[in-house]
């Protein structure tokens, strides 16, 4: 019974969904790339700060 319910719900979702327009896809791609870049930059800053901190503490 649960499998039949899952199949019916999946069919319903597929009927309601639509293919995104070119503009919508472009905007989503740009926002995703920007988010990845920001997360990468934050990671790089943390890595740089930690390496600087380790070097300064090991000098003592």
Residue 17 resides in a domain: no
Number of domains in the chain: 1
Residue 3 resides in a domain: no
Token digits of residue 7: 């199949």
Residue 58 resides in a domain: yes
Distance CA 10, CA 1 (A): 14
Residue 32 resides in a domain: yes
- pLDDT, average across residues 5-15: 92
Range of the domain at 60: 23-60
What are the backbone angles phi and psi of residue 20, rounded to the nearest 5°? -70, 150
Q: Which range among 1-5, 26-30, 55-59 has the greatest average pLDDT?
A: 26-30
In this predicted model, what pLDDT tens digit does every residue of 37-49 receive, in sequence order?
A: 999 999 999 999 9
Residue 52 resides in a domain: yes
């Amino acid at each position: 019974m649960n499998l039949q319910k899952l199949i019916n719900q999946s069919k319903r979702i597929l009927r309601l969904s639509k293919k995104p327009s070119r503009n919508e896809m472009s905007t989503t791609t740009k926002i995703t790339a920007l988010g990845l870049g920001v997360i990468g930059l934050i990671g790089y800053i943390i890595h740089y700060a930690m390496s600087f901190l380790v070097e300064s503490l090991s000098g003592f």
